[in-house]
Every structure is written in C-alpha cells, then in structure tokens.
C-alpha cells in the first residue's frame, strides 16, 4: 500500500482511518476538505481542485482521503489501494454528532476535520448508500480496475483493519 485513496460517506471515519494509516505507514496524508475549502467555507474552483490532485498523485507514496466523486477518477487512476468506508447511515450520523461534540464545529485542517452540519449534508448521508455507493463502484470499475479494494462496513471492521496493518508493518517503514 503506497498510494491509498480513502473514500466514504461523511461521518464514516475517513479522516480517522487516514490519520492512523499515515502514522503506521509513515506516508504523506492529504485531506481533500483542506484543499477544497478556504476560510468561510469558500470552495476552490473545480479546475484548480482537480489540478492540485493531479499534482498530488504523482508522488510515490500518499494517502488522500475524501469523497469528491467528480475528481475521484484522478485518484483512482494513480492509486494502488482504495479503502471504501461503506458504513450504514446511522453510523455516519452518529459519526458527525461525535465530531460535533469533539470539535464544536468549524474548520480544523490539522485533523482534516471540516465540521459543518446542514440539512443537505444530512440528506446526503441518508441517501449515500442508495445514490453514491453505486456511483463509487462504477467509478472504481471504470477508472481503478487495478486497485486493491478494501471495503470496511463498520467502525469495528475499520479498527481491526488498522490493528492488522499496524501488526503487519515493521517499525520505521
């Protein structure tokens, strides 16, 4: 695992899994929300966002976490591993509530946490498995048939994966 794309619904634990894997693998980590949002939640123009990702994926080793299906083909084409956090909506809603409790809202770039809960975001979470999951699978099929796909369906499953990776990775790797 040298070039890892971590994707999944909001609140699924992408940032947490990414931070843990970056520590274990000693790999550079990029949170896409950090690239996409400027102060006051101003989004980066689409072409600039895509160009920054094109540059990031040229590296030999990286972990990039974030969904952004519109630019996912860029990451899929260069990744060797995709970790898809495919958790139920209830787990994701619990995740955003825990994030809110911990961070109290706002932007926390150092942790890759961008905590803004809106009704549109809640609707997105509720419909993610019905609408986005099939789209994600199509994109993986079309742009990343070469990747190792790891699908994690619960926080317990994600924690076991992290523990397994920690045990299998020699210190200093």
pTM of the model: 0.89
Cα(31)–Cα(26) distance, integer angstroms: 15
Q: Please list the pLDDT of the chain residue by residue as tens digits (173 residues).
A: 999 999 999 999 999 999 999 999 999 999 998 888 877 778 899 999 999 999 999 999 999 999 999 999 999 999 999 999 999 999 999 988 887 666 666 555 565 555 567 788 899 999 999 999 999 999 999 999 999 999 999 999 999 999 999 999 877 65
Helix (H, G, I), strand (E, B) or coil at 4: strand
Q: What's the Cα-to-Cα distance from 45 to each of 32, 35, 37, 49, 153, rounded to whole Å?
A: 13, 11, 10, 6, 32
Asked if residue 64 lies in contact with residue 132, where contact means CB atoms within 8 angstroms, the answer is no
Q: How many CA atoms lie within 13 A of 156 on its CB side?
A: 1
Cα(27)–Cα(24) distance, integer angstroms: 8
């Amino acid at each position: 695992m040298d070039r890892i794309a971590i994707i999944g619904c909001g609140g699924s634990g992408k940032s947490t899994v990414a931070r843990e894997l970056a520590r274990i693998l000693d790999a550079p980590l990029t949170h896409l929300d950090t690239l996409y949002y400027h102060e006051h939640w101003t989004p980066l123009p689409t072409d600039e966002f895509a160009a920054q990702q094109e540059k990031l994926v040229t590296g030999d080793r990286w972990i990039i976490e974030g969904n952004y299906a519109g630019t996912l083909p860029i990451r899929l084409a260069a990744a060797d591993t995709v970790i898809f956090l495919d958790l139920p909506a209830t787990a994701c809603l619990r995740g955003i509530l825990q994030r809110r409790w911990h961070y109290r809202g706002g932007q926390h770039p150092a942790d890759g946490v961008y905590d803004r809960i809106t009704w549109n975001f809640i609707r997105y979470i509720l419909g993610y498995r019905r609408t986005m999951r099939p789209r994600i699978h199509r994109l993986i099929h079309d742009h990343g048939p070469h990747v190792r796909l790891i699908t994690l369906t619960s926080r317990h499953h994600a924690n076991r994966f992290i523990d397994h990776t920690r045990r299998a990775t020699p210190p200093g790797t």
